[in-house]
């Protein structure tokens, strides 16, 4: 179970849905830069440990040091920002590298920063939405992990649009945080096993996914002590394999045994681009599946 801290500054409705819909993670700390943030009282009433400080009185570096110390006390692995209205320092981001996520009320990369709904309306956008993204040094610029779209209705004001987007936020954030907290193997398993007639077996000691007795994915963690954590998938052939190895050598590697048959290993350490990993696993299934399954509509 991944241990999550939520940071907020205000009412905390996203934090509440993260707590109430927690799956595969547990909210073990709720922290705020405002002592009177309503979200803090809600969490405290549910016996969730809280830390409510005044960012204004302490200043950023003392505030962040206190939050990090409390996170360490509670063995926090992931920080979820939910309406936390302060910029994090690069030291803070580095201390939790790759393990901080945020929800932002726009379809990033559109409308970073504040007044997202007013700007979407002023631009005459037909749709708006929200994004969950990784937090980096740059404001609202880390990789998008998931998005949800809503229609802009005639007569919308920033407030009516914000209320519609907020409902979408509440559906999106717990789902994306749960995915983010899954182990890479569980995530591959979830993708692979929803493909038609997919089965999991152990092959050469590794979790391996088959369709009609043909392998299409194998997760390898330090296989033969090579120090790599990868999922091996088929490519359409040695041309595509060579192209992938050539253009993104940090992501793709040549797997032992399966390499000569045109497979690649996709790196799963850090924060892989899951949309692309999932697409490659599904594509590999297509390359392995018998004609009858492809004719029946494929994946």
Q: Which residues bind ligand GRF (CB under 6 A)?
A: 8, 10-14, 82-83, 103-105, 130, 166, 169
Task: Sort strands 198-203 and 144-151 into parallel, antiparallel or unpaired.
Answer: unpaired
Closest to 6 in 3D by CA, of 80, 73, 65, 66? 80
Q: Write down the least CB distance from residue 30 to ligand GRF, Å.
A: 11
Closer to ligand GRF by Cβ: residue 34 or 104: 104
- The edge-to-edge listing of strands for the beta sheet with 144-151 is 50-52, 25-32, 2-8, 78-81, 100-104, 127-134, 144-151
Q: Write down the least CB distance from residue 158 to ligand GRF, Å.
A: 11
Q: Write down the least CB distance from residue 99 to ligand GRF, Å.
A: 18
Q: Write down the least CB distance from residue 130 to ligand GRF, Å.
A: 6
Closer to ligand GRF by Cβ: residue 14 or 251: 14
**Token pair 């905390």 is at which residue?**
12
Q: Which residue is nearest to ligand GRF (CB)?
A: 83
Q: Write down the least CB distance from residue 9 to ligand GRF, Å.
A: 7
Distance between CA atoms of residues 136 and 289, nearest Å: 40
Q: Write down the least CB distance from residue 16 to ligand GRF, Å.
A: 8
Active-site hit among 74, 104, 117, 229: 104
170 is annotated as an active-site residue: no
Task: Return all residues near 213 (Cβ < 8 A) that are at least 6 apart.
Answer: none
Closer to ligand GRF by Cβ: residue 82 or 93: 82
Task: Give the catalytic positions in this structure.
Answer: 104
């Amino acid at each position: 179970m991944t241990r999550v801290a939520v940071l907020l500054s205000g009412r905390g409705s996203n934090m509440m849905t993260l707590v109430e819909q927690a799956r595969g993670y547990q909210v073990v700390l709720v922290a705020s830069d405002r002592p009177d943030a309503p979200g803090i009282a809600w969490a405290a009433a549910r016996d969730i440990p809280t830390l409510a400080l005044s960012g204004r009185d302490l200043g950023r570096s003392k505030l962040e040091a206190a939050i990090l110390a409390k996170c360490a006390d509670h063995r926090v692995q992931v920080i979820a920002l939910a309406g936390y209205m302060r910029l994090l320092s690069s030291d803070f981001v580095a201390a939790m590298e790759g393990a901080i996520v945020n929800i932002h009320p726009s379809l990033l990369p559109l409308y970073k920063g504040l007044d997202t709904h007013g700007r979407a309306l002023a631009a005459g956008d037909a749709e708006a939405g929200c994004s969950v993204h990784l937090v980096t040094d740059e404001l609202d610029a880390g990789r998008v992990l998931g998005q949800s779209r809503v229609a802009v209705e005639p007569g919308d004001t920033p407030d009516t649009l914000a209320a519609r987007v907020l409902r979408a936020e509440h559906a999106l954030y717990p789902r994306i945080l749960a995915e983010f907290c899954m182990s890479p193997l569980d995530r591959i398993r979830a993708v692979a096993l929803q493909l038609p007639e997919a089965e999991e077996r152990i092959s050469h000691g590794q979790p391996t996914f088959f369709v009609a007795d043909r392998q299409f994915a194998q997760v390898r963690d330090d296989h033969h002590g090579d120090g790599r954590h990868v999922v091996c998938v088929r490519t359409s052939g040695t041309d595509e394999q060579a192209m992938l190895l050539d253009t993104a050598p940090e992501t793709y590697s040549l797997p032992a045994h399966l390499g000569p048959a045109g497979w690649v290993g996709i790196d799963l350490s850090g924060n892989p681009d899951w949309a692309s990993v999932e697409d490659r696993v599904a594509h590999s299934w297509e390359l392995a599946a018998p004609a009858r399954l492809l004719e029946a509509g494929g994946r």
